[in-house]
Structure 1
């Protein structure tokens, strides 16, 4: 499982975050986006080293980049920006990589942060790159295009679900199940709106297929997430963590996040007004 999880995390660090930052269209993020490889490269190396001081130091390099990114969120909030549902989704996307980096530093150090086992910490890293950053970013993009009740629900429920899952780590399995249910509802709404976006008149074939693929993948991956959370809370049979990494994790990374971001980059090129989050 370790090799697969590391590959998924590398996709998040090296591809998903910088691609997502470009999609925001925010000039203030250009500098951190250009510098991102300098932070992400040490982070990816840290994944493959034995736990210890060297791996921890490299993970801290990545954490520094995520903190610099996260600091944009309070600055934007204090200036009165991003109070809309799409804006809240954007703020969530800016902050969540730092949560992933904190888990990475602790796991590479071999420290059971807040009492969480190293395996859980290792899985927290991809979770907050994809269910955190990518999911919130795309929810915001979708809301910008469809600012009706469904779009606003998606843009608010994805950040809320992400927060509830994080809180559930500390409170217990039932709270985590509540977060998973909210997040699943939000992600399925994102999937529905993404599917509709793919059906729009004039959409080119490649973009249409990417949008359809990302929407379809969400049905399966979030059902897996919900089934795992139900099993953890109730004791009913549910997938193992290794199985979740190979299905839910890989599906969200490649089938959802990458397909979505590629589609939105194409939309930005062909229809720039559709792709801005701010």
Structure 2
């Protein structure tokens, strides 16, 4: 990656560390995560600092390690949640994936900042893994789970989305080790899941939203997926088949920025508003007295 691309990727990672992860954690109804979210700046600040320190230095590695420890604290809630709920329903699978995904980004960040070729991967590959598991791993899986829960009961597209987003993310990860065609398969499955998330959000959830701002945020998060995930398919197919495809610089500026701002941030802000409205409604119901 060139210097301009590296800086753009770092900015997307900063957004993921400082805004996307804490916004997402607030939407997971898991005991103990509230404390992790309150303490999250203790991980996010050194993680952000590590991006601007020289690669290979002990300070950069140490700061990245602090961030990785924060992501591991989040990941530990995945088995705890599974033991508590004993559920592998589609929405739960998506939420469990979301809790585990940032730890992959954290480990990749430590390796990249230290200059260590983890599993033989070059630093630029590790650098791209970090934002991928903040957005495709954490945010996409979490939003898929939220959409599945909020969709109409028995919605097949919503259930399929909640399963295919985690499956696609894992296939993309496997593709790092098994080859470009596996990565294309992962991109295809992940794209299917994300398009289903967008479809259910646009067709089912958006019309039921009374708040104008929330509805527009949901609409934006849905619409942007149509283009950004098509770019992901194009890039993965081009690499696998040896066909012309966008450069990493172009992908970071379009697919990366679109998914970070248009999908992830808009979707999480919308769901935050939806959750706040539900909380306010519940409080109103419990405080009202019959006349």
* Residue in 1 that maps onto 2:50: 46
Alignment counterpart, residue 146 of structure 2, candidates 133, 141, 144: 141
C-alpha distance 164-273 of structure 1, shift in aligned 2 (>3 A): farther
- CA deviation digits over 1:9-35, x for unaligned, max 9? 011001011110101132321111111
TM-score in terms of structure 1 length: 0.95
For 1:202 and 1:220, locate their aligned partners in 2 and report how far apart those are by CA, in whole Å: 24
For 2:90 and 2:205, locate their aligned partners in 1 and report how far apart those are by CA, in whole Å: 22
For 1:233 and 1:193, locate their aligned partners in 2 and report how far apart those are by CA, in whole Å: 30
After the TM superposition, which residues 159-198 of structure 1 pair with which residues of structure 2 at under 5 Å, given as runs?
A: 159-198=166-205
Q: CA deviation at 1:203?
A: 1.9
Unaligned runs of 5+ in 2: 282-291
* Residue in 2 that maps onto 1:5: 9
For 2:123 and 2:209, locate their aligned partners in 1 and report how far apart those are by CA, in whole Å: 48
For 2:113 and 2:277, locate their aligned partners in 1 and report how far apart those are by CA, in whole Å: 42
Q: CA deviation at 1:112?
A: 1.3
Alignment counterpart, residue 71 of structure 2, candidates 58, 66, 73: 66
* Residue in 1 that maps onto 2:238: 231
After the TM superposition, which residues 57-136 of structure 1 pair with which residues of structure 2 at under 5 Å, given as runs?
A: 57-136=62-141
The structure with higher relative contact order (CA 8 Å, sep 6+) is 1
Runs of 4 or more consecutive aligned structure 1 residues displaced over 6 Å after TM superposition: none
For 1:169 and 1:227, locate their aligned partners in 2 and report how far apart those are by CA, in whole Å: 17
Unaligned runs of 5+ in 1: none
TM-score in terms of structure 2 length: 0.91
Q: CA deviation at 1:273?
A: 10
Contact 1:89/1:140, CA 8 A, preserved across alignment: yes
* Residue in 2 that maps onto 1:265: 272
